Amino acid sequence: MLVEIPDILTADEVAHAQQALVAADWVDGRVTAGHQSTRVKQNQQLPEDSPAARELGELIVRALQQNPLFVAAALPLRVFPPLFNRYEGGGSFGNHVDNAIRQVSGTPLRLRTDLSATLFLTDPADYDGGDLLIDDTYGVHSVKLPAGHLVLYPSTSLHRVTPVTRGARVSSFFWIQSLVRQDAHRTLLFDLDTAIQRLNQDVPDHPCAVQLTGVYHNLLRQWAEL
Ligand code: NI
């Protein structure tokens, strides 16, 4: 399931992030690439311990925790501290699948990457190219969102970023270990959750809402891993 989540950050937060990122020290993006993706990655990244990455990363994680759509779609157990990248001057990232396990640098913490997320931080009018192309069973999805919006997709997906031919594309990217490992299970829970919320809105106090909410929690109980 691919989900676009609007307005993770407010316009003020986006402006703050853009300002901090312009002034930050960028390094070659291959520092965090796995063996296979080193050969196809041409971008820049902020070091994981850079103060700007830490500060903005905490801002993003707080915003995610308060976003009901993100929580419902991801059912997050752990969120990797957000990283930041920049593509310009023809920079791109060829086809790859993200590494399955990620170590949080400087800690013993590891997480399984169930979901990959990209939070766009540049206005799409300010650059050409830089589309995130994600393959799934139904074909290729091209994603290029307004600044402050996020796309969430299964980390099992083959994906790439097309060359940026004008301007610079800055975004944050990170991974989520979900309470629910299987994308198919998460999708069912998300659909059920969405339908229950709509039912509660359209027909308040309908007796079926209690029963359906029970089904939701009993499925989550079957599938959740803590
Ligand atoms: Ni990737």
pLDDT tens per residue across span 65-83: 999 999 999 999 999 999 9
| Least reliable range by pLDDT among 34-38, 117-121, 209-213 | 34-38
Q: What is the pLDDT of the chain when averaged over all its residues?
A: 95
Q: Which of 92, 131, 97 is nearest to 116 (CA)?
A: 97
Query: Over the stretch 144-195, which tens digit does the pLDDT of each residue have?
Result: 999 999 999 999 999 999 999 999 999 999 999 999 999 999 999 999 999 9
Element (H, E) at 171: strand 168-178
Q: Is the CB of residue 99 less than 8 Å from the CB of residue 83?
A: no
H/E stretch holding 175 reads strand 168-178
**Spatial contact of 114 and 161, defined as CB atoms under 8 Å apart:** no
Cα 98 to ligand 1 centre (Å): 5
Dist CA 215 CA 192 (whole Å) = 9
% of the chain beyond a pLDDT of 90: 92
Closest to 180 (Cα-Cα) out of 197, 195, 193: 193
The pLDDT of residue 31 is: 77
pLDDT at 69: 97
Ligand 1 centroid distance, CA of 190 (Å): 24
For 18-55, what is each residue's pLDDT tens digit? 999 998 999 998 877 777 677 788 999 999 889 999 99
57 has a pLDDT exceeding 80:
yes
How far is the C-alpha of 36 from the C-alpha of 45, rounded, in Å?
18
pTM of the model: 0.95
Ligand 1 center–CA 13 separation, angstroms: 24
Q: Please tell me the predicted confidence (pLDDT) of residue 84.
A: 97
Distance CA 156, CA 113 (A): 9
pLDDT > 90? residue 219 = yes
H/E element, 53: helix 51-65
* Cα 46 to Cα 25: distance, rounded to the nearest angstrom: 7
Average pLDDT over residues 104-119: 96
pLDDT greater than 80 at residue 2: yes
Ligand 1 geometric centre to CA of 67 (Å): 23
What does the pLDDT read at residue 155?
Answer: 98
- E-only strand ranges, 31-167: 41-42, 44-45, 76-79, 83-88, 92-96, 101-103, 110-112, 115-120, 128-129, 132-136, 139-143, 150-154, 159-161, 164-166
Q: What is the pLDDT of residue 217?
A: 98
| 179 CA distance to ligand 1 middle (Å) | 21
Q: How far is the CA of 219 from the centre of ligand 1 (A)?
A: 30
Does residue 64 register a pLDDT over 90?
A: yes
